[in-house]
Structure 1
């Protein structure tokens, strides 16, 4: 498994493949996980984990919803920035205290590229 800068977690294969293509065209390296369980398996691979700089996840996923996935990331001492993309504006409060950036879908490609650049091309300050 090669290292990726960005992990995209989404059970919608079309959306995740599209986001990956957009980010790779912008010069990023991205890996896709079809859900939280697969993402957590990838994070067990040390080489993958050490190269990871950003997680972009869906809110609604079968098996484990976005807030539980982010809690699991944080429990594993994963302090990387997390962007949650959701079609549900009222779900943002479920991420309180988890230090995420919450955006509503649809999220245009140029905005995705800009957000990723702002997170990865400037020093990231994690709040306590």
Structure 2
């Protein structure tokens, strides 16, 4: 994660690239390895990941504000995006914040144009 500057990795089921077994985050590593005094070399990812049955996911049709609400309510920073075929990608809190800021910026531009008579 450090080498690739990512805060979470999706764990896939053996032989099934789009089938999610769970997710491992920097927070999982910190709380379940560092704090508990475990060894990174001998601890398996499966022992510290958030398992599939506890995983919070969204679909490609989920609205950005809904994803933000799920992240806020569950105190998470990453949500896998899935559809009927399996995993499609991952959304981070940074992605969500950028989308909301962009939307607000566009709305401000429209309002400014309206006020200035640009319509």
TM-score (norm 2): 0.28
Question: Between Structure 1 and Structure 2, which shows a larger proportion of strand residues?
Answer: 2
The structure whose RCO (Cα within 8 Å, separation 6+) is larger is 1
TM-score scaled by length of structure 1 = 0.27
